[in-house]
């Protein structure tokens, strides 16, 4: 693999109301669908050879809107499980544990640890690399992109700004090493003020 394209799904219904979804299977909002449609020409120009998507509907629908209705489902690309926080309003959570979770150090009751999540998403990349395709597109989730940035380029979660909806992050590979080529790119430019 020479290049890995990571696209976060468009805004979901719960993203719009700032509710944590984790692995809950929440659909895209109308705005989210429009966001993905706007990103599609940029992704098409990068001509992915292999397209993988999380099996959650917000990612699957995003893959379709990007022009890849036959994207292969890859359950390893599911978002991190937030356990008992599923469906909770971000604004209602205790800020200390929430910040710890964003930084990868706190695990909500019944949730998935950052280490387990990072290992799981890393396996998805390992499997994709074994396919031998030059450019791989993964349609996934903000947490997945943050975990892969941590795992592949050593960018700790506390140093990563939130990944914007329907944004593109690009990693290039040379001599077996990943390097960050683009982060949070949207049709309107960079997504610098994405909500948590």
What residue segments make up the domains of the chain, in order of their start? Answer: 3-190
pLDDT at 167: 98
pLDDT of residue 31: 98
Place of tokens 């036959």: 70
9 is catalytic: yes
What pLDDT was estimated at residue 125? 98
Which pLDDT belongs to residue 160?
84
**Full DSSP string of 9-36:** PPPBHHHHTTB--TT--PPBPHHHHHHH
58 is in an annotated binding site: yes
Would you state the structure tokens that stand for residue 168, as one six-digit string? 């593109």
Annotation-wise, does 141 bind a ligand? no
Is 114 labeled as ligand-binding? no
Indicate which residue of 68, 79, 112, 141 is catalytic.
79
What one-character DSSP code corresponds to residue 78? Answer: P
Whether 18 has a binding-site annotation, put simply, is no
pTM higher than 0.85: yes
Record the tokens describing residue 7, joined without a space: 């696209």
Query: Is 112 a catalytic site residue?
Result: no
Q: Render each residue's pLDDT in the chain as its tens digit; 196 residues.
A: 999 999 999 999 999 999 999 999 999 999 999 999 999 999 999 999 999 999 999 999 999 999 999 999 999 999 999 999 999 999 999 999 999 999 999 999 999 999 999 999 999 999 999 999 999 999 999 999 999 999 999 999 988 888 999 999 999 999 989 999 999 999 987 666 666 5
Is residue 61 a known part of a binding site? Answer: no
> Residue 192's pLDDT is what?
66
Gap between the Cα atoms of 73 and 77, Å rounded: 9
pLDDT at 130: 96
pLDDT for the residue 161: 81
Q: Which CATH number fits domain 3-190: 2.60.120.260, 3.40.50.720, 3.40.920.10, 3.40.50.1240?
A: 3.40.50.1240
From the candidates 9, 68, 112, 141, give the one annotated as an active-site residue: 9
Residue 9 known to bind ligand: yes
The torsion angles phi and psi of 124, rounded to 5 degrees, stand at -60, -40
Looking at residue 191, its pLDDT comes to 67
* Cα separation, 130 vs 140, whole angstroms: 19
Strand partners, 159: none
pLDDT in tens, 160-178: 888 999 999 999 999 989 9
């Amino acid at each position: 693999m020479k290049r890995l394209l990571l696209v976060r799904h468009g805004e979901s219904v719960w993203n719009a109301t700032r509710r944590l979804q984790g692995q809950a299977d929440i659909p895209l909002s109308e705005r989210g669908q429009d966001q993905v449609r706007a990103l599609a020409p940029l992704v098409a120009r990068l001509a992915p050879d292999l397209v993988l998507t999380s099996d959650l509907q917000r990612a699957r629908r995003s893959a379709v809107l990007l022009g890849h209705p036959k994207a292969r489902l890859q359950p390893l690309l599911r978002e991190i499980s937030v356990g008992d926080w599923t469906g909770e309003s971000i604004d209602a959570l205790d800020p200390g544990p929430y910040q710890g979770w964003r930084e990868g150090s706190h695990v909500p009751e019944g949730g998935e640890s950052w280490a387990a999540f990072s290992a799981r998403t890393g396996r998805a990349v390992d499997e994709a690399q074994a396919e031998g395709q030059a450019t791989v597109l993964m349609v996934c989730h903000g947490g997945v992109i943050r975990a892969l940035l941590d795992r592949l380029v050593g960018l700790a979660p506390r140093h990563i700004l939130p990944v914007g909806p329907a944004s593109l992050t690009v990693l290039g590979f040379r001599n077996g090493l990943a390097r960050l080529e683009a982060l949070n790119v949207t049709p309107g430019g960079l997504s610098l003020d994405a909500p948590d």
